[in-house]
Structure 1
């Protein structure tokens, strides 16, 4: 098939000879006839109709925008002077997908109406019959044949039925907006209108990706359609028009202008709606996912905080229960807050995902300062008199520990958790927040059980002098956490940015050293902290924004020499006919880095990939990237890691497990993946 642009030429008397020239191809496969409705009236409108009749059911014609392949109708009419032809009016088209290409077609007999405006002073009785010429394409699933015919309008035809089949124009204005790689169209449509299988046929050529699945949400009497843009589009134009098909042959035409498009709403159709599992499975997944976070590598930095609290939990039953509840409240509240902010940002049109907080340099600097302060507290440099994250034993300390634990522990997604978080981006707000709360409950569950189950607490060591030594030992992993955050700060903002952050940390530690000395002398200490630390904070507030360089692009140090992810590069790689392995990672995701170290960056894997001709590609999500966020959302993932395997010729990728092994990747390359790989990857 030829991907030709559909066009419409308005013809006047000067085109009469051209319009009446003999047909070149004929209309053997899809016959066409021109009908005129009634007698023309001066100053009125006369309706013409082109009726297309395939010779058998295997042949089909095309809408004005044929889609990825095909050709729209080209019509020339010989009209009296002053008479004008309007835009053709089409029935609701159908979708036909062949080899990944979507066409907008008509099967069976169909009619295209053509309105003709008659001028007020027209000499109607002397008007000759309307003639013309039409060119179009007739296709089956295997071949396409050009068709044309010389036309002469004749009376008759079933105009009542043909008018009913044409998609009517909405009398309300639609609006559209472009967010990232997505066209969002708000179409005014009463909530009472049933939508069996909705689909939007966009009339603007090469604006959207016709074959990509579309997503639909309702907000009252407004329907919002989200459609992937065509990577090859050459401008978005000033207006978007098309037909909204309801799914049963009915539909409406709309005209959309740039404007506000509501966010959120009830998900009613699209791949995401079909992919959302039952709520009870998501609830269980969120709870188990949070529970498993306690043993995931990305949670290790805050285990020292929990260890000290767990050791103290055996001192008294009332105290253990109070701390268990306080810690749980802190964890659940932090998860709710993070989830709520993420949903709010997405509703406002921002492309953010889970762990968005660690993509913000300011947040990472704040965490760096906090980790350094906790390290100093563990090392005995100073004491927090009331809110202690280590030894104070107050409920406020357990609550603060819970807040910090969830804030630092949740960036990575583990087994069971991925599906729940991906679904949370699609569910109504209340259900989504429920999943975030259950994620927090799962993370806090071990400590909560220790607080309420005495036999578990009796398994812990008795409190004693060893706890002070243990606290000082725990300063080591906390200090390593601070170093990791310093490294991440450099990755996010560049070396000068990281140097200023390090200077800020030095100032805070100096201030805390002064506080500790005053505390040991029994003097008022905390005002001194403000006096010493204030100049460092002031300098950082001025210098950090000016030194931030956006993280810049980083050269991959992978032994696979992967390409940087982009939709264009991915499409080109898939078109090569070779297997494609894409992994999405971030410098702050410990699970990602562990997988890369133990599985991806292995010589055995590199050799297997080279032997199979695997194309490798990496998406670095360390710094916020709207294109990557949108792609993750399309895959039903709210965060990283995400591992995708594209087999040659496969329409959709296979999601690999979030915990990789070298053997699994070698097996994928050899074409013998383990049976459990696909199932694990869907968690």
Structure 2
């Protein structure tokens, strides 16, 4: 009996594994999809192969470039069905590894094809589709060939779209290069290849890159010089060996100001081409290094980071800290050397904290996590800690208690003390509480940082810190500026009390965010912890005002903060609903999902997508202001514009991935998709006029 059972099990193990529509390979997830799970007789059926490489790996385009291999598919069709045509590839990206140019997909990509379902098939008949997919997946260090056999058990029916697979097919169609109406031309000038592509909207072009389908057309890794010559985009680079002949086909990837990159299918005939034209207006030129060179150069990104950090000093949670620290230098007993030391220490505190936060984001993304700038604010415990910290600062500014060396560590003792140590921790505190406010000033720079090499990316974060520290740095190094600061007096007590108001308002906003993240009960726990902490500070202040000596161990106040933070749950209770903003309600906003967006775009519906978070101050201002205006709601309804909301208050991998694809590190982001397939990014400070002039 046992021998028979063992033989039966071994026989089962010896059977080949049944093919399924999804296969998880070591470095890639691959899936077979169809427009309909019930294809209709006599009608075409679109099929797709979805390849999702794991973090740090990539697959290849039709022409892989200097290295790599394209994806191959061998189909097994039902009787009477012809094999489908070649796979259609989405617009690729560029990746230079060890001096070799690669045309790659570093994220999820969908390869499409189509078959004709024979007429006369009876409904209910099985219509199985099977394919063997072979592809190469590579990291920067190694390449691994992978293969999978996939099967879809379709059944002949009415041809209705499948609720799960059809949106993915639509997503794949939206990612394909578009046909170019105009006729492109190419010419060879010595060893150089020149392509001329007539197109509209040239004044908005920021960068472009040509991917030829043939191997010998150009030298892939050579920089492509892009200029505007009349009504055409002119691309010049080194010709390949032996060079192009006859018609040249390929894909032109173009990035326009305010829009996501788009691709155009090019068929160019040999002919005359214009001479070099004007530099691209959107960037001041495009003599890119190999890799396409999307976006502004590093110096402009760094300048944007410094300016963004400088503006952060007027934010309500940063300004009081900066003001009091600056006025501390006006007391008259701080010498030039000490002022410079404090300025440098303050700058070091800001730059180190901002760079460390940026480095943590980069490390988490390198490990495969989809996180962005200010990701720590998605954790309710961080919000609870900030609530306690800001409340403590507000009560201190209001005069409830004073921080001295004998009161123990109340979270801001180091920041309130003098000298280099106090200046350093003041800078660290200012940097930490400023992260929720970076959105409107830092979106482009921080988004670029997430796709730059590590050293350059960290320099962008350091530039943000330098901008944030710049006012105090100038005060510390400029005696003339210090002399212009008001002299100390009784007015400073009143100013401290006034500056406590924005800190109290910040605490109120943080309590509301906590409620949005973990529900009313969670917010109540956070407020209870804040009350306990506040009572502790009141008791401390009453002892101080009574003239009593106080020698409280620093661990007591630290334990109070830790206990209060631990009271807060890490997630909302099951089924808890978030409050709906006025804008979302008035505009009938639907929840963002990649599939829903792809379905709407595939149906040529206009879509206004906004990415938001409850801890984002700019987001809330826009949603209570321009987006909540009745004129906007009326215009969107009249034009049939669907509003889609992506809420990033809590971590959402789909939103994180979308932000990464659009080179944005955080929120807010506002994008309008028009019915023709165009994509326009709106400014981060919205106006009613901007929203009511969207073209449909």
TM-score w.r.t. the length of structure 1 is 0.61
For the pair 1:226 / 2:96, whether they are aligned, the reply is: no
What residue is the counterpart of 2:71 in the other structure? 201
SS at structure 1 position matched to 2:362:
helix
Of 278, 296, 300, the match for 2:316: 300
Q: Size of the alignment, in residue pairs?
A: 475
For the pair 1:438 / 2:329, whether they are aligned, the reply is: no
For the pair 1:493 / 2:518, whether they are aligned, the reply is: yes
For the pair 1:662 / 2:693, whether they are aligned, the reply is: no
SS at structure 2 position matched to 1:351:
coil
SS at structure 2 position matched to 1:616:
strand
Q: Answer whether contact 1:450 1:457 (CA < 8 A) is retained.
A: yes
Of 320, 328, 336, the match for 2:339: 320
What residue is the counterpart of 1:345 in the other structure? 364
Q: Structure 1 residue 609: deviation in Å?
A: 1.8
SS at structure 1 position matched to 2:693:
helix
Q: Structure 1 residue 639: deviation in Å?
A: 0.7
Of 283, 286, 299, the match for 2:302: 283
- 2-side partners of 1:103 and 1:239: how far apart? 13
What residue is the counterpart of 2:609 in the other structure? 582
For the pair 1:311 / 2:327, whether they are aligned, the reply is: yes
Please give the per-residue CA displacement for 1:591-616, whole angstroms capped at 9, x wherever unaligned: 11112223211112222222222111
From the CA coordinates, give the structure whose radius of gyration is larger: 1
SS at structure 1 position matched to 2:436:
coil
- 1-side partners of 2:144 and 2:566: how far apart? 53
For the pair 1:506 / 2:376, whether they are aligned, the reply is: no
Of 453, 459, 479, the match for 1:428: 453
Q: Structure 1 residue 620: deviation in Å?
A: 0.8
Q: For residues 229-248 of structure 1, what are the structure 2 equivalents within 5 Å?
A: 229-230=109-110, 241-242=134-135
Q: Answer whether contact 2:381 2:568 (CA < 8 A) is retained.
A: no
What residue is the counterpart of 1:211 in the other structure? 90
SS at structure 2 position matched to 1:667:
coil
- 1-side partners of 2:111 and 2:578: how far apart? 22
Provide structure 2 residue ranges, at least 5 long, that are not aligned to the other structure.
1-30, 36-45, 76-83, 114-129, 149-220, 224-252, 254-260, 262-290, 406-411
Q: Structure 1 residue 486: deviation in Å?
A: 0.9
For the pair 1:565 / 2:435, whether they are aligned, the reply is: no
Please give the per-residue CA displacement for 1:577-601, whole angstroms capped at 9, x wherever unaligned: 3321111111111111112223211
- Decide whether aligned partners of structure 1 residues 426 and 514 sit closer, same or farther in structure 2, where only a CA change above 3 A counts: same
What residue is the counterpart of 1:477 in the other structure? 502
Q: For residues 131-210 of structure 1, what are the structure 2 equivalents within 5 Å?
A: 183=54, 186=57, 195-196=65-66, 200-201=70-71, 203=73, 210=89
- 1-side partners of 2:308 and 2:356: how far apart? 18
What residue is the counterpart of 2:172 in the other structure? none
Of 622, 639, 642, the match for 1:595: 622
Of 435, 457, 470, the match for 1:410: 435
SS at structure 2 position matched to 1:301:
coil
SS at structure 2 position matched to 1:644:
strand
SS at structure 2 position matched to 1:354:
coil
- 2-side partners of 1:218 and 1:428: how far apart? 13
Please give the per-residue CA displacement for 1:288-338, whole angstroms capped at 9, x wherever unaligned: 22223334xxx2222111111222233333343233222211111111011
What residue is the counterpart of 2:145 in the other structure? 254
- Decide whether aligned partners of structure 1 residues 406 and 586 sit closer, same or farther in structure 2, where only a CA change above 3 A counts: same
Q: Structure 1 residue 231: deviation in Å?
A: 12
Please give the per-residue CA displacement for 1:488-541, whole angstroms capped at 9, x wherever unaligned: 111111111111111111111122222223334454535378668857854763
Structure 1's consecutive aligned runs of 4 or more residues displaced over 6 angstroms after TM superposition are: 65-69, 101-104, 219-224, 237-240, 268-272
Q: Answer whether contact 2:358 2:458 (CA < 8 A) is retained.
A: yes
